[in-house]
Structure 1
């Protein structure tokens, strides 16, 4: 059981959540988007949101600014969160700019929400509060899914049920591993949901 709960934290790592939101968007969007554009966006986002953060983490570990991938202390979280904010800004400026991809406006505001959530988490880390990044990531994606279902008038009840089960599994995993308290998990959920909920008004 310990191995299963530990593996959940790695399988549903926060790094994969933005790309999961992007893949879901392209699979459900009723708009015609050329496959070449979809592939280019997915590959670019995979490199920037997954590969690049992993390389940056390895550099931070090499120079001694972080000790483990779990970022157990608030001090360890500061530099990775700053770098992640920079990565998201690069995504917004180079890949999802409204001027270049007006048909992808939903994804643009999705990543704006991710940026705001990251900045809020960074601020809390500076204040020595360790909000759950896992819960921030999964709750933000779920809120985006709900907004897309309303926006595109599609029934995704099965997907949402699965996502809530995954959210529960992640929360259980983090508690079992003593990585977070109940309060840190709950604060993480709010930090993930609220920016996405506010930004919905700009594209829904």
Structure 2
């Protein structure tokens, strides 16, 4: 059980959530988007949101700015979160623009707001759960997409809720967060996506 709970934190790492949101969008959107464009977007996003953060992490570890991938202290979180903000801004400027795919654009705007909120809390010495921020934001994006496109994705939503519970259990089991930090993570993840709905729904 210990190995399973530990593996959950890796399998559903926050790095993968933006890309999952984009994959879900392209798979369920009724709009016609040329396959070449979809592939180009996915490759670009994979490089920027997964590969680049991993490389930056190893750089920070080499420089002694972080001690482990868990970022156990609020001080360790500050630089990675700042760098992640810049990565998302690049995505918004170069990869996902409002004139191309407005739903994904505001999805990433929500991610940027959540990241900035998490950064502010880290500066204030509060360690909100980034795992819960990521999965909660993804869940709210799925909900709004289902309404926007009038598609039934109840099974997907139920699965994401189960995953949210599994992640929360994993983080508690590993003593990575308190209940307050997990709840704050859910709040920070969901609220920006919800606030931005009127701009594209």
What is the correspondence of 1:91-170 to structure 2 with a 5 Å cutoff?
Answer: 91-99=91-99, 101=100, 104-170=101-167
**Partners in 2 of 1:84 and 1:39 — Cα distance?**
23
Q: Which consecutive aligned stretches of 4+ in structure 1 deviate over 6 angstroms post-superposition?
A: none
**Partners in 1 of 2:122 and 2:88 — Cα distance?**
18
**Partners in 1 of 2:12 and 2:98 — Cα distance?**
29
- 1:98 positional shift: 2.0
Q: Deviations over 1:77-121 (max 9, x none)?
A: 00000000000000000001224x1xx100000000000000000
Note the residue ranges of structure 2 that are not aligned, 5 or more in a row.
none
Equivalent position of 1:38 in the other structure: 38
How many correspondences in the alignment? 201
Matched, 1:186 2:183: yes
Q: Any idea what SS the aligned residue of 2:196 has?
A: helix
Equivalent position of 1:201 in the other structure: 198
Q: Deviations over 1:24-74 (max 9, x none)?
A: 000000000000000000000000000000000000000000000000000
Return the TM-score normalized by structure 1: 0.98
**Partners in 2 of 1:160 and 1:195 — Cα distance?**
19
**Partners in 1 of 2:161 and 2:145 — Cα distance?**
16
- 1:185 positional shift: 0.1
**Partners in 1 of 2:32 and 2:16 — Cα distance?**
25
**Partners in 2 of 1:97 and 1:159 — Cα distance?**
27
**Partners in 1 of 2:32 and 2:73 — Cα distance?**
45
- 1:161 positional shift: 0.4
Return the TM-score normalized by structure 2: 0.99
**Partners in 2 of 1:7 and 1:191 — Cα distance?**
24
